[in-house]
Amino acid sequence: MTAMPSSSSAPAPARRAEISRATSETRIIATVDLDGSGRAEIATGIGFLDHMLTALARHGLLDIALKAEGDLHIDFHHTAEDVGIVLGQAVAKALGEKRGIARYGQALVPMDEALAEAAIDISGRPFLAWSVAFPTQKVGEMDTELFPEWFRAFATNAGITLHVTLKAGENSHHIAEACFKALARALRMAVAIDQRLAGAVPSTKGVL
């Protein structure tokens, strides 16, 4: 009896990760699927941050489930920063050896009068270049000074080089939303699998 030929294309490995973090200030658990459809189940206790992370999932085509409990009676700093840490770690873990990824991503996103650009290199060299100014100190109950803290925590723990630049903007809500959506679109591009790489790591060093 002749054996049936086996399929030449093995299923792609899942690019999904779960990370939990517990400190005296916060308790966070998050799951990220890089090949999702944009589903989000977010509960940080900070309404505007929930809104931004939902936009990150939707426009990045990431599935994100995240629950955070933090010392919000003090302020929002610890929770916002630690959420960035955990999401960054989850993205890094889901990427694994980074084989076959496009590596670079860039997006220029308008939000009414605001225009923000994000550029990413999944380099293994964490860095945030932040050129964004807000006209107000708060959006809702969230301090605008916490946005660079979140982006820095995310970039550092994801192991990416990230540049975020505000091109135009007068409304703090629109500015923040344009920044998160630009990150989402750039990240979506950078983590995408490029079939021409045939599973190789996109670096002359052979490792990222």
Which domain CATH number covers 33?
3.30.230.40
Say which DSSP state 68 is in: E
pLDDT, average across residues 113-121: 98
Q: In whole angstroms, give the CA distance from residue 69 to residue 25.
A: 9
189, part of any domain:
yes
Beta bridge partners of 116: 109, 166
162, part of any domain:
yes
Range 64-91 burial, b when 16+ CB lie within 10 A, else e: bbbebebebeeebbbbbbbbbbbbbbbb
pLDDT, average across residues 110-118: 98
Q: Could you report the per-residue pLDDT of 163-176, keeping only the tens digit for each? A: 999 999 999 999 99
Domain housing 165: 16-197
**pLDDT confidence of residue 10:** 57
Q: What confidence category does residue 207 fall into, taking pLDDT thresholds of 50, 70 and 90? A: confident
**pLDDT confidence of residue 206:** 83
31, part of any domain:
yes
Q: Could you report the per-residue pLDDT of 42-89, keeping only the tens digit for each? A: 999 999 999 999 999 999 999 999 999 999 999 999 999 999 999 999
83, part of any domain:
yes
Q: Which of 208, 59, 197, 31 is nearest to 124 (CA)?
A: 208
Amino acid at 114: A
5, part of any domain:
no
Q: How many domains does the chain have?
A: 1
202, part of any domain:
no
